[in-house]
Structure 1
Amino acid sequence: MATSIDPAERLLNLLIALVNTHGRMTKEQVRASVAGYADAPSDEAFERMFERDKDTLRDLGIPLVTVTDAGHGDDIGYRIDLDAYALPAIDLTAAELGVLTLAAQTWQDRTMRGDTARALTKLRAVGQGPGATDLVAGLAPRVRSGGAVFAPLLDAAQARQVVRLTYRAASTGEVRERRVEPWQLIARRGGWVLLGWDRDRGATRSFRLSRIEGSIRAVGEPGAFDAPSPEQVEQAMAAWREGPARVATLAVLPERAEATRVRAIETPPDAPDWSQDPVVGPLVVGRDVVHVAFRNAWELAEELVGYGDAVLVLDPPDVREHALQLLERAAALAPAPRVDDDVAVLEVERG
């Protein structure tokens, strides 16, 4: 029994055949010679299959041309317009290649890292000179990986398939399962965000991928919802618009928190001398006072608590409070350390 060919493979076979045909291919020639169309059980099934594949090629921007025989108007064939399909010669300046390099460095997720690296290698082969990387040194955006949930969410968004996910709210720490219609994945504030429709709450919502716990579970069939309107996407993105720039003051241990240090700005002229503060002064001894710009207090707090006691937040108070809340939640989730009975007795006797 012959093995059925996947629709994507059949579509690729059709594209290859039409690119390499001399003149044109009729439907009869396609059915007889392109792998995958022999699976059609009837003429009607073949017609539907072929029409669907033609529409898909055109939707992908591939210039599929219909060619009619001059002597027989009903003798129709197809080919790819090679002049329109071929990629024009690429001549990138060092600056242009540098910008592409900078953009590609955003994609550090393992699902896309290989593709961007291969694409850059090919572009550098036709670019001008080796200096492109130097032009953008130190400017690379820092976007944390979307982790294991990135690929299944991307697949679900493309398939318009509802998903179940377990989400931990940033402000309350509450963990709850959500049913979501995934719309888009966007990079915001150093991480990935899912925009979508929360079916349980009946409203647009955005979800930071780093706060999703466990795996993504697809629910129901693909095509379960329509693409969102521009107004719906705009509403979902509202929470992620950049607020006014602010400055945080941190006390950082030497040679620690390098990813934060590289964003340091000059000391503001009105910044206090923390070493002279009677309360804070002893805490900053042996530490570097670093000033960094930020726009979202919760996002900065999440970053800083990852450094543990290597970073102390001196100012502003809301970032410090958010960091303390996150640390308190983490401590509440951690199991109490096991104390050996003999050690406990010894400590009591010493007391």
Structure 2
Amino acid sequence: RAGGVGVDEFALAIVEPQLATDEPAFDAVFEAVTKRRPLCFDYQRPAQEASESRHLEPWGIVSWHGHWYVVGHDQDRDAIRMFRLSRISGQPVFTGERDSYQPPAEMNLRALAESLAPPHPNSSATIRVRTGAGDALRRRAARSTHVDDAWTELELAFGSSHSLADELLSYGLDVMVVAPVEVRDRVVRRLTAIATGAAR
């Protein structure tokens, strides 16, 4: 613990010499955690093309599956959330004074990280993306194959078929699911429900 709040000190001791170069946002987030100062930062989610502004009361920092995360109270969602430091764009900005909030008295950062983290990718999906669309999907694809002038086929790792289907739905008709069937069926069902609702 640092300043009465949670920091994964064992993991911190292992990689501390690399933090300045690997995670540009780490120093500001660490200061916010230790001094209990709320933060504002731009956050780039994998499924989004543009970053969005988030406001957080950071409770602690934890290393999870090879990446650094900050856990805290998301003021925008009024909920506990976890943010990966490497997805923070630019430098976080302090939005409050020292000791502006009080983290939970009893807090297990690793347990929180486990409950908040998305499922570890252990499956693969094949999708087709229309030319000129889906840049975020293309960036994380394990394989990319040109199909024709209109489509590119991508192979994506995923952990939750439900989460992947929700992500792909945001691209509308610019994405087609080839496999697996469970993801394709989820997308089709959701699109059908949306179309049915719009027709009423």
TM-score (norm. length: structure 1): 0.31
Say whether residues 1:178 and 2:87 are aligned partners: no
Q: 1:210 to 1:302 in 2, by over 3 A?
A: farther
Distance in 2 (CA, whole Å) between partners of 1:110 and 1:315 is 27
Between the two proteins, the alignment pairs up a number of residues equal to 137
Letter in 2 for 1:213: S
Q: 1:205 to 1:214 in 2, by over 3 A?
A: same
- Show CA shifts across 1:48-69 (max 9, x none): xxxxxxxxxxx9xxxxxxxxxx
Which residue, 156, 161, 166 being the options, matches 2:32? 156
User: 2:62–2:113: 8 Å Cα contact kept in structure 1?
Assistant: no
- Show CA shifts across 1:186-227 (max 9, x none): 112231111011112211111111221121101221111113
Which residue, 188, 201, 211 being the options, matches 2:77? 201
Instruction: Structure 1 unaligned segments of length 5 or more: list them.
Output: 1-58, 60-99, 114-144, 251-300, 329-351
The offset of 1:305, in angstroms, is 3.7
Structure number with higher relative contact order (C-alpha < 8 Å, ≥ 6 residues apart): 2
Residue 25 of structure 2: SS of its match in structure 1?
helix
Say whether residues 1:238 and 2:80 are aligned partners: no
Identity of aligned residues (%): 22
Larger Rg: 1
Instruction: Structure 2 unaligned segments of length 5 or more: list them.
Output: 5-9, 127-136, 146-153, 172-200
| 1:295 aligned partner | none
User: 1:1-351 residue pairs with structure 2 within 5 A?
Assistant: 104=14, 106-107=15-16, 109-111=18-20, 145=22, 147-173=23-49, 175-230=51-106, 233=109, 234-235=111-112, 237-240=114-117, 246=122, 248=124, 304-305=140-141, 313=155
The offset of 1:316, in angstroms, is 7.4
Q: 1:190 to 1:304 in 2, by over 3 A?
A: farther
Letter in 1 for 2:155: V
The structure with the largest helix share of the pair is: 1
Q: 1:181 to 1:201 in 2, by over 3 A?
A: same
The offset of 1:303, in angstroms, is 7.9
Root-mean-square deviation over aligned CA pairs: 4.3
User: 2:40–2:95: 8 Å Cα contact kept in structure 1?
Assistant: yes
